[in-house]
Amino acid sequence: MTGSRGLRSWLTTTDHKRIGLLYFYTAFAFFLVGGLEALLIRAQLARPNGTVVGAETYNQLFTMHGTTMVFLALMPLSAAFFNYIVPLQIGARDVAFPRLNAFSYWVFLLGGLFLNASWIAGPVFRAGVLNVAPDAGWFGYANLTERQYSPGPNVDFWMLGLQILGVSSLAAGFNFIVTILNLRAPGMKMMRLPTFTWMTLVTQFLVITAFPVITVALVFLMFDRFFGAHFYVPQAGATPLLWQHLFWLFGHPEVYILILPAMGIVSEVLPTFSRKPLFGYTVVVYSGVLIGFMGWGVWSHHMFSVGLGPIADSVFSATTMLIAVPTGVKIFNWIATLWGGTIRGTTALHFAVGFIAMFIIGGLSGVTHASPPADLQQTDTYYVVAHIHYVLFGGTIFGLFAGIYYWWPKMTGRLLSEALGKLHFWLTFIGMNLAFFPMHLIGLLGMPRRIYTYAPDLGVSSLNLVSTIGALLIGVATLVFVVNLWRTRSHGAPAPNDPWGGATLEWAIPSPPPPYNFSVIPTVASRLPRWKTEHHDPMPDPPAAPPAPVHVPGGSWWPPVAALGLPVLALAPLTHHLWLAFLGVAIMLYGIYRWAFEPFEI
Amino acid sequence: MPRFRPWLSPLLPLALAVVACGGPFPQSTLRPRSDFAGAVDQLFTSIFWWAIIVFVVVEGLLCYAVIRYRHREGRPAPRPVHGHTALEIAWTLAPAVILVFIAVPTMRTIFATAGEAPPTALKVEVIGHQWWWEYRYPDLHIVTANELSLPVGRPVQVSITSADVIHSFWAPALGGKRDATPGYVTRIAFRPDSVGVYSGQCAEFCGASHANMRLRVLVLRDSAFQAWVRRQQAPAAAPPRGSLEARGRDVFAKSACIGCHTIDGVSKGIIGPTLSHVGGRATIAAGLFPNDSPHLARWIANAPSLKPGALMMQMPVAGADLTAVIAYLQSLK
């Protein structure tokens, strides 16, 4: 059952490294889909009174672009690194629950396919193709999402798809918390954990606390839509504002779920390529933890235009400004890490420095809308679109690309081309600034977000054209990256154990690592085990072959089977066939039953 | 090896400012025409300059570090510095101090613009609908749609709500946006300080034609506003017997129009905007089209083709009947 090649070995794998690669390729495919949606959006807005797509299609495009990028691209791209890198950084053989890990991946894949199936599912619902994809925005404000105002299956796809994806995130969240707390190698104290692992830990605590909140909000919505409940119906005495509070109570921690892993990556890349330890490791770690806590106290800054009253606005404004302090501290620590180093300008370093440069802009525009009166002119305009893209593209995606160039040799055994990498970086850097910087002005000049058309006399036509050109450039850059990935498969230079001179444990073992990771579990004596510091000599690398055979658990069919039950269950309310619900539950229970009683020592 | 050159990025805003120059920008947030918008603009400007200072300093440090400490052959290995307590305390305090300079005027502005106008203010109720605006002047007994007329120099108390889903009322020159949430009444207050026509639009995604839910605010001299009030308070114009307009009224009264639209003395529909004085408005379909015969004809014949999702059905009115209805509507000044 445990062949190392072939489709079956991938379907049944429980190896964190293979699951990491599956996460990467799947999330990257969704990233391309979300990018294509973005290009269509930009094509429509290139000129005033655009006619590339109609209103209904456009509303589906921006909804799916946001939903795809947040839930199907950025979060699982981070998860690719959690999976691949975290067990290596803490000196473990795998995650704590390898089959649960496989389950998380399969649920993610199936949830993503379920959501995207809405693009082509129109005929099933007697509607045209391109008619039933979600269309209420990625934060789906009630009461527009009620059956009365959104009668089609569009919102059903969205609400059921997100619930499926929530299961995946929660399972992974618990898995990584247990892994990081319990599977550390001897001597790997908490304050010796690599920064990326630390930020992963904070992120997973945010996941397991934030996702239940959106699940509750979605279950309320599901009851409203399918069973005639009135959680968000003002005519029944309820309030649609309940959705906004629940969504943003999840939504703001979600922002940190998206950015903290990238901050962790940057905190690994900068020290390696400046040949200096991370400046103020303790402060960077604690500020990450602090951001995780403070992220729970700022949600209503998404709601300043609601009119919650001056007291609520003042409080949420103050907490939001406070969160800028630990964020600013991190930026200064990164610059201080570079300061006095010998900086090697690898592609990974380019993206890491690009992250800092762009994140500063996103942070500063964030401060301008932490001020409620100013935000009243900015919220729901392109100014906010500019802000979110400086944070999530200039921030998260730059951070993730830094991680890809940094860890790809470890993950595949081959080095990505640095020349193509630099080209990729500069095209992305120029493209993103052309695409997103004009949006600040477009918003200040009065163009709201989420409009499929605008009048020429708004005066923002040329700025929109510039933005579209920038988006195209990002598209070209992404193609360069795809070429780089493809070329590297056969032509990439073979990677040694440690191509960069890294300080952390993953560089002590072969690239790619053997299934058991470490021939001998290392004993860690310092925060930078592979570097010489004042008190410690570099740790010796583990022997090339294990002294005794290492048992590696085999694969299992039951995680993917159990995962399959969820989308089948979700099809039941979508198509109004009760028997599908029983079938879905039966598949899931059978999968879990076999999984529970599976002899794992195959 | 190409090096990182982010110091070029400050040039970008400059270049874009050049691109952005020219054109009247009717919906700009940067040309305040009321006390509310002015206070917001002043606050934004001060935060903007703080942001510019921080941007220049921090990006400058970053660029300097990347260039100054780039790898060169023969440089000694860097000192393994792990931190510096005093320095770290300093750069924790520095942003905190700057934030105080932003927070204090922010709090002042929040309370100064909290939506309370003096009791003498003109009261206006704004009701969002998919996808048009209803305006009521309770003290003047006026109901109108999409084009809001206000006198210059007089405080206005705006109460905002919605008849269906959440919208957001936004006329940038006159102030910040405020959501129209069903079941709630929210408030803004401002005093327009310049005569003019200001455009705005719905700012909260509200369904298919969210992009087509525009509005205009006409700030008028007091005499012009009083004249407008008198016209609105007058009963809807009754066309002379036997005229084209009278035929139009009869067609209107016998058609499905009356199910949704009010014209004083003719119909009492409340689903669509009131048409009692529609001829006096410059635009139709929530600021989308000029209020002229060709656009009215196309709109009446097939509204959803001009405004996706519009609830107004295709009207089986054509030929001479259509001409008559248009003439009638245009006569309702």
pLDDT digits (tens, 9 = 90+) for B193-252: 999 999 999 999 999 999 999 999 999 999 999 999 999 999 999 999 999 999 999 999
Predicted pLDDT of residue B4: 47
| Chain A partners within 8 Å of B187 (Cβ) | 307
pLDDT digits (tens, 9 = 90+) for A166-185: 999 999 999 999 999 999 99
Confidence of residue B77 (pLDDT cuts 50, 70, 90): confident
- Contact between chains at B99 and A340 (C-beta distance less than 8 A): no
Answer whether B286 touches A (CB < 8 Å): no
CB-CB contact of A292 with A202 (8 Å): yes
| B45: closest CA of chain A, how far (Å) | 9
Instruction: Write the CATH number of the domain with boundaries B6-112.
Output: 1.10.287.90
Q: Which token pair is B132?
A: 């048009």
- Contact between chains at A360 and B95 (C-beta distance less than 8 A): no
Name the average pLDDT for chain B.
92
Mean pLDDT of B164-191: 97
**Residue in the block written with tokens 């906010």:** A384
Instruction: Please state, for a pLDDT cut of 70, what percent of chain A lies above it.
Output: 99
- Helix H or strand E segment including B136: strand B132-137
Predicted pLDDT of residue A598: 87
pLDDT(B21) > 80: no
Instruction: Write the CATH number of the domain with boundaries B122-233.
Output: 2.60.40.420
| A342: closest CA of chain B, how far (Å) | 5
Beta bridge partners of B267: B263
Q: Is B244-331 CATH 2.60.40.420?
A: yes
Nearest to A143 among B13, B165, B211 (CB): B165
Mean pLDDT of A263-286: 96
- Contact between chains at A360 and B59 (C-beta distance less than 8 A): yes
pLDDT(A294) > 80: yes
Answer whether B34 touches A (CB < 8 Å): no
**Residue in the block written with tokens 């599908």:** A580
pLDDT digits (tens, 9 = 90+) for A398-431: 999 999 999 999 999 999 999 999 999 999 999 9
| A66: closest CA of chain B, how far (Å) | 14
pLDDT(A384) > 90: yes
Answer whether B60 touches A (CB < 8 Å): no
> What residues does CATH 2.60.40.420 cover in chain B?
122-233, 244-331
Predicted pLDDT of residue B12: 53
Mutating which of A311, A327, A343, A424 best tests the B interface, going by the most B Cβ atoms within 10 A? Answer: A343
Beta bridge partners of B168: B179
pLDDT(A470) > 70: yes
Confidence of residue A551 (pLDDT cuts 50, 70, 90): confident
> What residues does CATH 1.10.287.90 cover in chain B?
6-112
| B250: closest CA of chain A, how far (Å) | 34
Predicted pLDDT of residue A418: 97
**Residue in the block written with tokens 């108390």:** B157
- Contact between chains at A55 and B1 (C-beta distance less than 8 A): no
| Chain B partners within 8 Å of A283 (Cβ) | 83, 88
Nearest to B177 among A277, A305, A332 (CB): A305
Mean pLDDT of B157-178: 97
Query: Considering only alpha carbons, which residue of chain B is nearest residue A459?
Result: B25
| Chain A partners within 8 Å of B158 (Cβ) | none
Confidence of residue B115 (pLDDT cuts 50, 70, 90): confident
Predicted pLDDT of residue A2: 45
Mean pLDDT of B116-124: 95
| Chain A partners within 8 Å of B170 (Cβ) | 448
Query: Considering only alpha carbons, which residue of chain B is nearest residue A439?
Result: B16
Q: What burial letters (b/e) apply to B284-323, b meaning 16+ CB within 10 Å?
A: bbbbbbebeeebbbebbeebeebbbbbebeebebeeebbb
Query: Considering only alpha carbons, which residue of chain A is nearest residue B93?
Result: A325
Predicted pLDDT of residue A554: 80
Q: Which token pair is A66?
A: 């946001």
Predicted pLDDT of residue B17: 56
pLDDT(A193) > 90: yes
Mean pLDDT of A64-70: 98
Task: Tell me the residue ranges of DSSP E strands in A231-311.
Answer: none
3-class DSSP assignment, residue A7: helix
Predicted pLDDT of residue B2: 44
Minimum mean pLDDT range among A91-105, A459-473, B74-88? B74-88
Residues of A noted as catalytic: 65, 94, 138, 168-169, 252, 254, 256, 267, 301-302, 327, 330, 449
pLDDT(A599) > 70: yes
**Rounded Cα–Cα distance for residues B261 and A376 (Å):** 33
- Contact between chains at B182 and A240 (C-beta distance less than 8 A): yes
Nearest to B208 among A56, A373, A447 (CB): A56
Q: Note the Cα A331 to chain centre separation in Å.
A: 21
Confidence of residue A377 (pLDDT cuts 50, 70, 90): very high
Predicted pLDDT of residue B81: 86
Confidence of residue A1 (pLDDT cuts 50, 70, 90): very low
DSSP state of A531: S
| Chain A partners within 8 Å of B75 (Cβ) | 342
- The contacts of residue A71 (CB under 8 Å, 6+ apart) are A112, A115, A162, A165
Nearest to A339 among B20, B22, B65 (CB): B65
**Rounded Cα–Cα distance for residues B264 and A289 (Å):** 64
> Which phi and psi (to 5°) does residue A430 adopt?
-70, -45
3-class DSSP assignment, residue B156: strand
Q: Note the Cα A11 to chain centre separation in Å.
A: 23
**Rounded Cα–Cα distance for residues A513 and A455 (Å):** 57
Mean pLDDT of B121-133: 97
Task: Note whether ipTM > 0.95 here.
Answer: no
| A94: closest CA of chain B, how far (Å) | 31
Mean pLDDT of A39-48: 98
